Amino acid sequence: MQKIAVIGTGYVGLVSGTCFAEIGNRIICCDVDEQKIEMLKRGVVPIYEPGLKELIEKNVAAQRLLFTSNVGEAIEAADIVYIAVGTPMSETGEADMKYVKAVAKKIGEHLNGYKIVVNKSTVPVGTGELVRQIIFNHRKYPAVHFDVVSNPEFLREGSAIADCMNMDRAIIGSTSEKAAKVIADLHAPFGTRIFTTDLESAEMIKYAANAFLATKISFINAIANICERVGADVTEVSAGMGLDSRIGSKFLQAGIGYGGSCFPKDTYALAHIADQSGYDFELLKAVIRTNDRQRLLVLDKLGHALGQLEGKRIAVLGLAFKPNTDDMRYAPSLTIVPELVRMGAAVRAFDPVAATAARSMLPEAVGYFDSVEETIEDCDACVILTEWAEIAGMDLTKVQKLMRAAVVVDGRNCFSQETMQQHGIAYHSIGRRPVGLAGSGLHTANF
């Protein structure tokens, strides 16, 4: 059993700390946000992640998981200190390191014995050395030693517990063989593959992995746009590509682009790192531009289907950037919904989890409803932005009956064209031929 302090109770810190507790360690999750800590002590989880609340309750009851706002005390009580604070994107695109620097200073001030300091946050290459230097400069006891490790996270929101408990690899970067072995042993109960390397390579692996996955997404979206113009079906193209073992089928689902807390931030950060190193990462910059443009396709398709959007009633189904999370960071809805309002449309929105978070981020004119049926009633068109189960499984017979005009623009390709045709719905998806109603006057040409 290891005594571990996890500094930062955001998505990464809270999930990682809880999972480390689940495999038998004593975890103190700490944060300077006293209100958040009080919520956690009362059993209120500030983020939505399936299974997390139950796992927290289990480990709190077993006294393996504690919460405190006294960060210094948590550091002093721990053998291993995980840094899991946010590194938000700055105006220049680089990662904002102020929280990481503040934590490193705090660790130095409370370093009362040998500790392993682990960077879990996604940080630029060179941060391990930066953290080491800050801790070194703020030590009260110069004789006390410490080691720094990079152990980047690869959690997917919506399946983070499973990803952590069944992780496919643990990347461990350090200049100390002793520290690397301790962190490797810490991960042994997960039954995962261990890859040990130097600090800088571990930091780069995180950015490189996310940038590559973002590239796959932008690539298949670009292919989808070509498919629409030449009459091919991107779902068939993706399936055929995915059969190639060198490519694989993951992250080849065409849609309206990536969002969330990782891909947008990490691609911009890596592009900035490249610029700072003197390399023009043109490929990655094209990935970012492609993604930014992709979400606007929904508006183009609506325009083709309805003509002018002013005065039209539009249902927006799904607001979070992906299902099974309430995370609104860089969600396509943040671009699309304000533009619909600007164009004069009356927007009615539904999201089973993220509606509360969305209210403070979207125009006041947006109306929010508690079900798909309420949202689409008497609407001129419906736009699907998030493939929640409630949305992908909605009753299409009701859709056809409740809507003023049965027009669906699907940014996530939730339905087959044949199914929508059978239900008499004008259906416009990504990278596939649109299905129109005979005699409706709706456009059915490729766009």
Rounded to whole angstroms, the Cα distance separating 77 from 83 reads 15
31 is in an annotated binding site: yes
Rounded to whole angstroms, the Cα distance separating 426 from 429 reads 10
432 is in an annotated binding site: no
17 is in an annotated binding site: no
Q: In a 10 Å sphere around its CB, with 0-12 CB exposed, 13-18 middle and 19+ buried, how is residue 296 labelled?
A: middle
Enter the tokens of residue 307: 């003509």
386 is in an annotated binding site: no
Paired sense of beta strands 367-368 and 381-384, if any: unpaired
Q: Is 253 left (phi over 0), alpha (psi -120 to 50) or beta?
A: beta
Give the strand order in the sheet containing 426-428: 367-368, 346-350, 313-317, 381-384, 407-410, 426-428
36 is in an annotated binding site: yes
154 is in an annotated binding site: yes
42 is in an annotated binding site: no
3-class secondary structure, 191 = coil
301 is in an annotated binding site: no
Q: 220 near 250, Cβ under 8 Å? A: no
Name every residue whose Cβ is closer than 8 Å to that of residue 18 and which is 6 or more positions away in sequence: 27, 29, 52, 55, 56, 59, 65, 161
24 is in an annotated binding site: no
351 is in an annotated binding site: no
3 is in an annotated binding site: no
72 is in an annotated binding site: no
**Annotated catalytic residue within 262, 379, 382, 414:** 262
Closest CA to 14 of 51, 52, 43, 41: 52
Enter the tokens of residue 323: 């299902």
H/E stretch holding 224: helix 199-230
Q: How many CB atoms lie within 10 A of CB 92?
A: 10
157 is in an annotated binding site: yes
Rounded to whole angstroms, the Cα distance separating 173 from 185 reads 14
3-class secondary structure, 304 = helix
What CA–CA distances, in Å, run from 198 to 95, 119, 126, 201? 21, 13, 11, 6
Rounded to whole angstroms, the Cα distance separating 163 from 185 reads 18
259 is in an annotated binding site: yes
Rounded to whole angstroms, the Cα distance separating 415 from 417 reads 6
155 is in an annotated binding site: yes
344 is in an annotated binding site: no
Catalytic site includes residue 227:
no
Centroid of chain to Cα 131: 26
- Name residue 229's amino acid: R
Enter the tokens of residue 59: 């480990």
Locus of tokens 């390579």: 201
Binding site as annotated, residues for NAD(+):
31, 36, 87, 122, 157, 265, 329
Catalytic residues: 262
Binding site as annotated, residues:
31, 36, 87, 122, 154-157, 206, 251-255, 259, 265, 322, 329
Binding site as annotated, residues for substrate:
154-157, 206, 251-255, 259, 322
